[in-house]
Amino acid sequence: MKTVGTFEEAQELAVGSVGLVPTMGFLHEGHLSLIDAASDDNDCVVVSLFVNPLQFNEPSDLAAYPRDIDRDTALARSAGADVLFVPDVETMYPIEPRTNVVVRGVSEGMEGTHRPGHFVGVATVVAKLLAGLQPGNAYFGRKDAQQLAVVRTMTVDLSLPVQIHGMSTVRESDGLAVASRNVRIAKHERPSAVGLSQALFAAGDAFEAGERSGGVLREIVMTKLGTVPMVDIEYVEVARARDASIVDRVGETAFIGLAARIGGVRLIDNVFLDPETERADRGVQLDGPSILYGEF
């Protein structure tokens, strides 16, 4: 694996079919599953590592985002990446951006409401990565369901020649969706954090039992969360997967997603619902502790 900092260097090394895994670093099993999927499908896997300032609407959140380039390099190499693209801010934004990508509709509501400007930053940086690295395939986690819909819509609207792949959420052994910010959850708050996924799983159970009403599925989650201490709920919604629009009834692939704060940590999670297979995608659960908490 070679580490480079410019688009030109990355393009020189990316030969054959190229799969891109965009990340902001502090890699975990979710990222590694994307690298693994990209390795299966492509001749060359490019992992980008860039903490994008445009998508943070809270400066303190940007400052607190964990960074460890040596750790990430070792993990990317061991997972099978061929190229690690680590640009600095000046490479990505040599001047104040005059062009932003706004994906109307899909980026509104849910995360769009609670994190104003977030999806403009996401869409803009992903568009730059796709244009600059020119992969044929790009891999994103289903955990960020609305983001996945935003990226897919953007690539279609801009006729970008890339296939977007959404991969199942990876979960810790207790069910909590793997995320870098999990390390900030206090020990006494952990049961409350796990309560988020348990509430979503209950809705998944109801869906697999035949429930299709968005209102009923949402109420199942809200009722479960009502018994969980220390949870400050921002939203619980059932939305269509392809455009993140709120639905009253699940007639095509959808997700039931939520955002909540546990202490000072904001968490998001979801379960995808597929009426064709009548199954809920709860993700893939780890057998032991995540690499987030120690050596790998």
SS3 222: helix
Does the annotation mark 28 as catalytic?
Answer: no
- Residues of 50-78 as b/e, b for ≥16 C-beta within 10 angstroms? bebebbbeeeeeeeebeeeeebbbebbee
User: Cβ neighbours of residue 289 under 8 Å, at least 6 residues apart?
Assistant: 172, 173
Q: In what order do the strands lie in the sheet with 83-85?
A: 2-4, 83-85, 44-49, 18-23, 137-141, 163-167
Number of other CB atoms surrounding residue 261 within 10 Å: 13
**Does residue 25 come out as left (phi exceeding 0), alpha (psi in the -120 to 50 range) or beta?**
left
Q: Which of 28, 31, 118, 165 is catalytic?
A: 31
| Catalytic residue IDs | 31
